[in-house]
Amino acid sequence: MKKLLSASLMCADLINLGDSIKKLEEAGIEYLHIDIMDGAFVPNITLGFDLINAIKEVTDIPLDIHMMVNAPSNLIGRMKLGKDDIICVHYESDVHIHRTLTQIRDLGCKAGIAINPQTPPESIEFLADSIDMALVMTVNPGFAGQKIFAGADRKTAKMRRLLDEWGHPEIPIEVDGNISPANGKMLCKNGADIFVLGTSSLFMKDKSIKQAAEDFRKMLTEE
């Protein structure tokens, strides 16, 4: 499966977001990863719906919406998205998560399920027919600049094995949190397909976005 880069906008230059998006387009980034946080499911608040709808107006890069909110089903209708956009909700955030995933697909978007570090990959067995992506959180959600949790490699590999066993080799695995080049390579070897790139590999003081993206892709392909 093709390896794709998803730029974490919460780590971009938020004062010059339009300029950052242009640079991400020039770098050939395949998704814009937009973290929505409600201050309850995670102790942080980030980007909101007006900004998301404004971003959608100015770029053709598909959006990879990561909803770290309680009761996401109340909120998914607030975004004007299309068939190439992903809305990813947390397994731990909704007692009727299967219904919410169905609602996302009914909106015409791709549906993703995210699992926190402590949530076993087996948990999503009966959701596998209702998703287009599985997001394995490699840090506890909510903040950039954290460190990957021990076991993220084994968990990613197990997620890949299970999805294949459940008859879904086509479902990509996204990894999100401290995806440095080295962690990216390790996770790629363990089955990751989509890499959420933030402060660990893309938005860096000493490197342009284009160069950082090129370096990350090169690292993925090197033996």
Q: Footprint of Zn ion on residues 152-181 (CB under 5 A)?
A: 176
Binding string to ligand DX5 for residues 169 to 188, with x set by CB under 6 A, is what? -------xxxx---------
Residues 6+ apart with CB under 8 A from 125: 162, 166
Q: Which is nearer to ligand DX5, 163 or 196 (CB)?
A: 196
What is the C-alpha separation between 69 and 75, in angstroms, rounded? Answer: 9
- The residues that bridge with 89 in the sheet, in sequence order, are 67, 113
Q: Footprint of ligand DX5 on residues 20-39 (CB under 6 A)?
A: 33, 35
Question: From the CB of 63, what's the least distance to ligand DX5, in Å?
Answer: 13
What is the C-alpha separation between 3 and 164, in angstroms, rounded? Answer: 17
133-137 and 173-176 strand pairing: parallel
Using CB under 5 A as the binding rule, whether residue 66 contacts Zn ion is answered as yes
Give the angle subtended at the CA of 156 by the CAs of 152 and 158, to the nearest 5°. Answer: 120
Question: Which positions lie near ligand DX5, rule CB under 6 A?
Answer: 8, 10-11, 33, 35, 66, 139, 141-142, 144-146, 176-179, 196, 198-200
Under the rule (CB under 5 A), what is the footprint of Zn ion? 35, 66, 176
